[in-house]
């Protein structure tokens, strides 16, 4: 795949994984691929999420990879993470920015809605993500069309992330317009997640 203006790799850790299982799963992927940012899902018990946050921070920061967690602003601050990914769009962006400061990463999920993405960008998000990018039964089932990324890339300066229901063909189509491509569920069920990522990334 051509490398000119290539998107960066944004890795989404598996959901509801025990902290004890995280390092053997994540470390080989982080070692084999140039990950720019690691996102931790926010579902789970507070104590377990705290352990996951500490472990992921050590794993990622040792490899110069930023770490964000979904929605938990206070936990991100307390455990030295680089920021948050807000799953409810623009609504909490200003609060997260106030709590975490100007240097923190504050990202927001816009679903398939250009309007939601614009609101998040105007509220001060560092990036906006759209998805899923292919057929999915999750959420509303609505997919983010590829022309949304093309429009955003041309018109909006805020970096854009493509996520959800990705395959190799969709990634190739997104290559010219997405700043980041987020891979997660697409690889974690594979026997060798690192090899699965290589097959997707090309």
The residues spanned by each domain of the chain are 8-188
pLDDT of residue 5: 74
What is the rounded average pLDDT for all residues in the chain?
94
Residue holding tokens 């929605």? Answer: 71
pLDDT of residue 4: 57
Counting other chains too, the contacts that 168-171 makes at CB distance below 8 Å and 24 or more residues apart are: 168/199, 168/200, 168/202, 170/133, 170/134, 170/146, 171/200, 171/201, 171/202
Planar angle of CA 157, 126, 121, nearest 5 degrees: 60
Residue 88 pLDDT > 60:
yes
pLDDT of residue 140: 75
Residue 35 pLDDT > 50:
yes
Assign 1 a pLDDT band (cuts: 50, 70, 90). very low
Mean pLDDT of 116-123: 96
Please name the fold of domain 8-188: TIM Barrel (3.20.20)
pLDDT of residue 2: 41
Please give the model's pTM, rounded to 2 decimal places: 0.96
pLDDT of residue 104: 98
């Amino acid at each position: 795949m051509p490398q000119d203006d290539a998107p960066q790799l944004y890795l989404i850790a598996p959901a509801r994984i025990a902290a004890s299982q995280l390092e053997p799963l994540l470390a080989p992927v982080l070692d084999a691929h140039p990950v720019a940012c690691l996102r931790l899902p926010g579902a789970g018990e507070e104590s377990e999420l705290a352990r996951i946050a500490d472990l992921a921070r050590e794993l990622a920061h040792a490899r110069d990879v930023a770490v964000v967690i979904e929605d938990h602003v206070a936990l991100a601050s307390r455990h030295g993470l680089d920021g948050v990914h807000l799953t409810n769009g623009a609504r909490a962006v200003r609060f997260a920015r106030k709590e975490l400061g100007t240097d923190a990463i504050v990202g927001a999920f816009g679903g398939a809605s250009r309007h939601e993405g614009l609101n998040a960008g105007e509220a001060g998000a560092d990036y906006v993500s759209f998805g899923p990018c292919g057929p999915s039964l999750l959420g509303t089932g609505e997919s983010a069309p590829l022309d949304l990324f093309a429009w955003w890339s041309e018109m909006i300066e805020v970096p854009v992330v493509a996520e959800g229901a990705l395959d190799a063909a969709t990634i190739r189509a997104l290559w010219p317009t997405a700043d980041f491509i987020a891979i997660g569920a697409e690889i974690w069920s594979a026997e060798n997640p690192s090899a699965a990522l290589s097959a997707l990334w090309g």
